C-alpha cells in the first residue's frame, strides 16, 4: 500500500487555469486530479462522442472548444493525444500562433521527452513531459488510481521543480527519465502492462475452452501471487514447466494450442523461449534438461518424455 500523502495546502504553488487538448482517457483524469489540488480546468477539446462523454463525466461544466481556444484560455495545457499525432499537433499550434509565452505545455506521451515540444518552446512555451505509468479507463476511478502512481518526468533543469510539484499535486511520484531514454522507458512499460492484458485475455479464453466456468476467479489469486513474487524476487520467482525443463509438458502444451487456439502458439513459444533463457542464465533451468526443451521450442514439435521426436 502506498504511503504517499498529499502536501499541505500552504506548500502548493499558485493556482493555474488548466486546459486539455485531446479528451481521451488520460487528459480529463489528470485535469480532474489537478482540480482536486485547487487548480481550475477552464477548457477542453474533443471530437468523438466518447471524448465528450468523458469530459462531461470528469470535468462537468468545462466547455469543449477547439484546441487553439483551449490554449488561449489556459495557463497550463495538457496535450493528451496519441503519440503519433503529437508532433503534428505541436507544430500546428505553434505555427498558428496559439502558443503564448510563459504558458506551461505538458504532454503525457511515454515515447517522447521535451524535444517534441521544441516548436512551442521557440514560441515561448515552458515544456514538460509527464507520463503517468498507469492504465486508464476513462472513468472517475482513474483519479483515485493516480495516488502513488509513478510519473516518467522529463523537463529542462529550470523547470524540474515545477514538474515535480505538478506530479505531487496529482498524487503521483516523479521518476526522472533522460530525454534519450524515453523510448526505452516506454517500451519497458508496454512490454509489462500492455502485453500482460493480452496474455491474461488469452489465458481466460483457453480456460473457458477447457470448461472452466469462472476463469477470472481461477486466475485472480494465481496471477496476483505471480505478480507479487515477480516484483519482489525478479527471475527467482520463475516457476512452471519451462523453468523446470519439462520438455514433454511443454510439447503437450504446443500440441493442444495448435488444436484449440493456433493463434496463441507463436506467443506461447516466444514467451517460453524468453523464460528458458532467463531460467538458464539464473541457474534455475538445469543445462542437461535445457537441450530437449529448447529443441521443442525451436521446432514446435511434440516429443516423448525421453526427448525423442514422435
Question: Which helix (H) or strand (E) segment is 68 a member of?
Answer: helix 67-73
The model's pLDDT over 108-132, given as tens digits with 9 standing for 90+, comes to 999 999 999 999 999 999 999 999 9
pLDDT category of residue 202 using cuts at 50, 70 and 90: very high
Question: Which helix (H) or strand (E) segment is 127 a member of?
Answer: strand 126-132
pLDDT of residue 59: 96
Following CA atoms 234, 236, 240, 243 in sequence, which dihedral angle do they give, to the nearest 10 degrees? 110
pTM of the model: 0.84
pLDDT of residue 14: 65
Residue 33: exposure state from Cβ atoms within 10 A (0-12, 13-18, ≥19)? buried
Is the per-residue pLDDT at 42 higher than 90? Answer: yes
Contact between 244 and 285 (Cβ < 8 Å): yes
Nearest to 275 by CA among 241, 233, 225, 229: 241
pLDDT of residue 300: 72
Which is it for strands 40-45 and 104-107: parallel, antiparallel or unpaired?
unpaired
The model's pLDDT over 131-176, given as tens digits with 9 standing for 90+, comes to 999 999 999 999 999 999 999 999 999 999 999 999 999 999 999 9
State how far Cα 37 lies from the chain centre: 24
The model's pLDDT over 220-267, given as tens digits with 9 standing for 90+, comes to 999 999 999 999 999 999 999 999 999 999 999 999 999 999 999 999
pLDDT of residue 149: 97
The model's pLDDT over 62-93, given as tens digits with 9 standing for 90+, comes to 999 999 999 999 999 999 999 999 999 999 99
Residue 28: half-sphere exposure toward Cβ, Cα within 13 Å = 28
The model's pLDDT over 47-59, given as tens digits with 9 standing for 90+, comes to 889 988 999 999 9
pLDDT of residue 2: 35
Amino acid at each position: 500500500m502506498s504511503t504517499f500523502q498529499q502536501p499541505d495546502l500552504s506548500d502548493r504553488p499558485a493556482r493555474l487555469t488548466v486546459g486539455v487538448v485531446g479528451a481521451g482517457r488520460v487528459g480529463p483524469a489528470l485535469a480532474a486530479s489537478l482540480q482536486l489540488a485547487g487548480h481550475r480546468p477552464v477548457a477542453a477539446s474533443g471530437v468523438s462522442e466518447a471524448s465528450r462523454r468523458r469530459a462531461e463525466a470528469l470535468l462537468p461544466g468545462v466547455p469543449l472548444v477547439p484546441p487553439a481556444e483551449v490554449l488561449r484560455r489556459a495557463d497550463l495545457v495538457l496535450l493528451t493525444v496519441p503519440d503519433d499525432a503529437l508532433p503534428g499537433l505541436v507544430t500546428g499550434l505553434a505555427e498558428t500562433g496559439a502558443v503564448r509565452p510563459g504558458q506551461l505545455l505538458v504532454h503525457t506521451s511515454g515515447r517522447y521527452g521535451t524535444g517534441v515540444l521544441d516548436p512551442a518552446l521557440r514560441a515561448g512555451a515552458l515544456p514538460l513531459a509527464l507520463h503517468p505509468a498507469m492504465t486508464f479507463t476513462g472513468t472517475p476511478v482513474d483519479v483515485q488510481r493516480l495516488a502513488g502512481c509513478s510519473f516518467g518526468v522529463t523537463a529542462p533543469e529550470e523547470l524540474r521543480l515545477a514538474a515535480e510539484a505538478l506530479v505531487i499535486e496529482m498524487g503521483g511520484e516523479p521518476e526522472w527519465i533522460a530525454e534519450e531514454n524515453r523510448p526505452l522507458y516506454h517500451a519497458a512499460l508496454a512490454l509489462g502492462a500492455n502485453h500482460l492484458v493480452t496474455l491474461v485475455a488469452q489465458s481466460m479464453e483457453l480456460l473457458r475452452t477447457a470448461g472452466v466456468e469462472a476463469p477470472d476467479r481461477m486466475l485472480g489469486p494465481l496471477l496476483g501471487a505471480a505478480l507479487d513474487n515477480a516484483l519482489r524476487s525478479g527471475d527467482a520467482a520463475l516457476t512452471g514447466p519451462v523453468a523446470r525443463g519439462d520438455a514433454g509438458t511443454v510439447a503437450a502444451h504446443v500440441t493442444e494450442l495448435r488444436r484449440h487456439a493456433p493463434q496463441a502458439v507463436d506467443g506461447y513459444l516466444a514467451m517460453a523461449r524468453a523464460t528458458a533463457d532467463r531460467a538458464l542464465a539464473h541457474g534455475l533451468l538445469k543445462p542437461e534438461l535445457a537441450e530437449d526443451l529448447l529443441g521443442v521450442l525451436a521446432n514446435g514439435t511434440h516429443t516423448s518424455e525421453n526427448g525423442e521426436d514422435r
